[in-house]
Structure formats: structure tokens, C-alpha cells
Amino acid sequence: MASFTPISPTALAELLAERVRAQPGRVAVAISAADAADPMGLANRVVEHLRTSGRPAHAVSLHDFVRQASLRLEHGHADQESYRSSWFDYDALDREVVSSLKEQHRFLPRLWDETTDRSARVRRVDAAGNHVVLVAGPMLLGRGLAFDTTVQLRMSEGALVRLTADDEHWTIAPLLAHDSDVDADIVVRFDHPDRPAVRNS
């Protein structure tokens, strides 16, 4: 059984930034986690550490790469299979961010506005030779995306029930199913976000 070492939230962000800094060139990082874990919050803290050390970095939210409402809500507002397989546009994320970063040396920080259900209408960002892009959001792993480093913030069912808004509890089953099927380079127990623990190598 894997062992885990407790770490502070600040030290966790520093650890991830250190791991990324050790990688040359343009780097794509996945922080896969339920919304209850606030993966964008962690991604933004890692970006701050990287920029402070002189490494250009951006955080991209998976929620800015959702499919149009007519597609993701085709089977209703709380369809678990749709949430797991067709809610987010992973193909567009690959095309506009992950592959584009490596092949075209630029990326699109946002594609779709989930609230207004309209195009985000933002410009592509030119990527420096050592640019880091951290993509944060639910169920990012096992999608065939060529991330250089993957991070998984794992939460138990009890933690998800406790920290997920009542009207979003229908997402818990697909989140747990996804996490049980995948693994990451860096796995963090995140039942208590103020007291994470990192899996030992």
C-alpha cells in the first residue's frame, strides 16, 4: 500500500513548482481534481511561484473548455455519463492548449464561457521557449493528452459529499469512477485541503 507524507498547502505549491522548474522547454501540466478541491487555486499558486523565479507560466481552467450547453445538457442537467464523457471538450483542450503549446508555440487560454454559453473570444498567447501551462479541472487524466507532468488531488467519497455543493452531488459518482481508473505522476490526498499529503515515490 502506498504511503503518504503530510505537507502544508504552501509547501505543496512550492513542491509542484520545483518539479516543473526541473523540466526544460515548454511544459504542460495537468492538475486533475474535483471542483471541491479548487484545482485552479493550486494552479494559480504554482504559477505565482514559477513567475517569481522567472519562468513564464499560465493557468488554464478546464471549465473554460466545456462543450456548448446544447451538447453537454442533451440528456439533462444531471446526467452522470454525460458529465464524465462529453461535458468537457478534451479534444479542443488538446488542439488549442496542449498540442498547440508544443507544436505551434502558442495556446488559447479560454475557449467557451460556461455561464453565457458563448465563445470566450480571447486571443492566443505566444509561448516562450520555457513556458509552463497548468491545466486544472475535473477528470483530466486518461484522455490521451500529452501532459509532461500529471497531478491528481484525490478526495474520498465522504470528502466530496462534505465539500461539494448540494446541487452538484450528482457529479460525485463519475468523479470517483474516473479517479479509480487512472493514476498520476504526483498523487495528493486532499480530503482536507488545509492538510494535504503527497504519495511517496
Is residue 173 within 8 Å of 80, Cβ to Cβ?
A: yes
* Bigger pLDDT: 120 vs 26: 26
Average pLDDT over residues 33-59: 98
State the pLDDT at residue 105: 98
Grid coordinates in use for 165? Answer: 455543493
Average pLDDT over residues 176-197: 96
Of the pLDDT bands very low, low, confident and very high (cuts 50, 70, 90), residue 85 is: confident
Hey, how many other C-beta atoms are within 10 angstroms of the C-beta on 116?
Answer: 9
Cell match 514559477: residue? Answer: 50
Q: Is the pTM of this model over 0.85?
A: yes
CA distances to 64, 94, 133 from 108, rounded to whole Å, are 10, 10, 11
Average pLDDT over residues 5-15: 97
| Phi, psi torsion values for 89, nearest 5 degrees | -95, 80
Q: Which domains does the chain possess? A: 4-149+164-199 (3.40.50.300)
